[in-house]
Amino acid sequence: MGVLQTETVRLVEMPFTLEGKTAIVTGSGRGIGRAIAKRLVSAGACVMLNDLDEKMLLESKEALADPQRVSFIKGDLTDPLVPGQIVDATLDAFKSIDIIVNNAGYSWDNVIQKTTDEQFGAMLEIHLVTPFRLLRAASQYIRTAAKQEIASGQRIMRKVVNITSISGTDGNAGQVGYSAGKAGVIGLTKTLAKEWGRYNVNVNAVGFGLIETRLVQPLNAEGASMEMHGHQIRLGVQPSLLESIKSACPLGRLGTPEEAAGAVLFFCSPLSDYVTGEVLICGGGLHF
């Protein structure tokens, strides 16, 4: 029995460590973002959390394995000043930026004839413009640090992981804004991979299918709405549609936030040091 237990522990040990690394994870107050932060802290990284909801940020910090290596900054990423504030807060707290995970987002869905300019623009703003602004804000530190490291003969890899969706790769009826924003993330990812390769930065994207979060809970479930910039936005999916999606998915179920975070962790780790400009789909085999 003792031999079996030892072997089991050996199998789950990580083949890498993120000790000495600092990550920024946006949208990390709950759900997938919190699960990503937890994975990174467990692997040894320090993490700067960001979200709109300070209460959820506090809960995230306390839920992580080592809250001493976690800090947070509340802020609306769609405010043009906030991405720079996140970068400055991270450097003040941890002195480096090694990993950026652009995870923040939400869905505000409708068919095209019912989608307003404001609604369409909001989806582009949160899913495409805010990752661009955060990466631009971090670029000065990343380029300067990389040049110094290269000059001294060091190769230190940094990581950017942008979150896209199968709605962005395949399109999805009723999500014209969301799909457009998530498709744009792929272009941002592939372009920055070409620009930042010389700085030893891997830039990749993870595209999620349906993951068990409040965005895909049964429609009209308790708490299935959110307030954003004066609008009350319904969250969730019709129960009958959820069941049909599960049936269409080769794995026959929705994914968990922890499983989603595992795909992101790969791109944050040394295991992906020679992978850049790629999109990894974490969707249980589902395609729309």
Nearest to 265 by CA among 57, 87, 28, 35: 35
Sign of CA dihedral 29, 92, 158, 183: positive
Q: Which pLDDT band holds residue 4 (cuts at 50, 70, 90)? A: very low
Is residue 237 a contact partner of residue 173, using CB atoms and an 8 Å limit? no
Between residues 217 and 90, the one the model is more confident about: 90
Rounded to the nearest 10°, the torsion over CA 47, 223, 221, 214 is -20
Q: How do residues 199-215 score in pLDDT, each as one tens digit?
A: 999 999 999 999 998 87
Q: Pairing state of beta strands 99-102 and 225-228?
A: unpaired
Q: Is 199 a catalytic residue?
A: no
Q: Which pLDDT band holds residue 236 (cuts at 50, 70, 90)? A: confident
Q: How do residues 139-198 score in pLDDT, each as one tens digit?
A: 999 999 999 999 999 999 999 999 999 999 999 999 999 999 999 999 999 999 999 999
Q: What domains does the chain contain, in order, with CATH numbers?
A: 19-211+255-282 (3.40.50.720)
Per-residue pLDDT at 45 exceeds 60: yes
Per-residue pLDDT at 13 exceeds 80: no
Q: What would the two tokens of residue 52 be? A: 């709109």
Per-residue pLDDT at 8 exceeds 60: no
Candidate list 106, 141, 178, 199, residue with the active-site label? 178
Q: What is the rounded CA–CA span in Å between residue 272 and residue 264?
A: 11
Q: Measure the N-to-C terminal CA separation of the chain; round to a whole number of Å.
A: 46
Number of C-beta neighbours around residue 96 at 10 A: 16
Chain CA centroid to CA 237, Å: 21
